[in-house]
Amino acid sequence: MRILEQLIVPKKPGSSGEDRAVVTADFAAVIDGATDKSKLTWQLDGCDGTGGWFAAKTIAAAIAALPAGIDAVTAVEKLRTALDAAIAAQRPQLPVHQRPCASAVIYSAARRELWSVGDCQWRMRGRTTHPTKWIDTITSEFRSAFLTAQVAAGKPALGEDGTDPGREAILPLLQVQQQFANQPGRFGFGVLDGQPVPDEYVTVVPVPAGCEQLILASDGYPTLSDTCAETEQALAAALAADPLCIGELAGTKATEAGNVSYDDRTYLRLAV
């Protein structure tokens, strides 16, 4: 396994962001810490950060410590218990909806498998797979409809101070939707937040022997191409065409003032 290209770009220049990439002799992974809504601060390695930053760094360290031949379900259990212990050490009584959390896509070299929990994406043999969750579709479409209606009524899409009324409209649901994490039902979804992850939310994809290249990425890209340059160009074009993120880039937030995109982004291309 060899790194061909790697790029990590925080949405806010000068910040560490909430994405992480890990490459060892046995594993490669991209971890996407969830955007924080709780405003809580977490400590790790002598630094303070958001819940997404804390979750991503904790999971990255746990991936680096995994034994080579471990299977997907056992690995996910190790990652979630590592995060659960880290959370409990700082806030043992934290409500479920405030737990730091992250998505991850992991390549196991020993098993030639891709493992996924959450909404990170991957590209293999010219085909991109981008898992999504229903609750995100609901909030993204509501925000898109709200802002589109604002514009149609002749009102500014954003406030004079850059506030996003569409984001504010969906914020109450964003703040509690973590209640659905790792739960059954149509709103349920898988994520690494320290709670047990049901097997149904652990995706395992074999990597065929003839496959020589893999691309792992966070969901900060609307689409993946076979090179980082092409992927970056597609993102730049999409941001120019849809700066409010209510069309092609429909999502729960737009690019905030001073930021370079609507989300952190990580691109990792591997020879396997």
**Could you say which residues of the chain have pLDDT below 70?**
none
In 3D space, the residue among 104, 105, 177, 103 whose CA is nearest the CA of residue 140 turns out to be 177
**DSSP per-residue letters across 77-93:** HHHHHHHHHHHHHH-TT
Buried b (16+ CB within 10 A) or exposed e, 71-109: ebeebbebbbebbbebbeeeeeebeebbbbbbbbbbbbb
| H or E element, residue 51 | helix 51-64
- pTM for the predicted model, two decimal places: 0.95
pLDDT for the residue numbered 36: 82
Gap between the Cα atoms of 140 and 134, Å rounded? 10
pLDDT for the residue numbered 159: 85
Tell me how crowded residue 266 is: count the other CB atoms within 10 A of its CB. Answer: 25
Whether residue 124 contacts residue 207, with contact meaning beta carbons closer than 8 Å, is answered with yes
Tell me how crowded residue 234 is: count the other CB atoms within 10 A of its CB. Answer: 15
CATH number at residue 105: 3.60.40.10
Whether residue 1 contacts residue 109, with contact meaning beta carbons closer than 8 Å, is answered with yes
Q: Which domain does 230 fall in, by range?
A: 2-271
How many domains, in total, are found in the chain?
Answer: 1
pLDDT for the residue numbered 37: 82
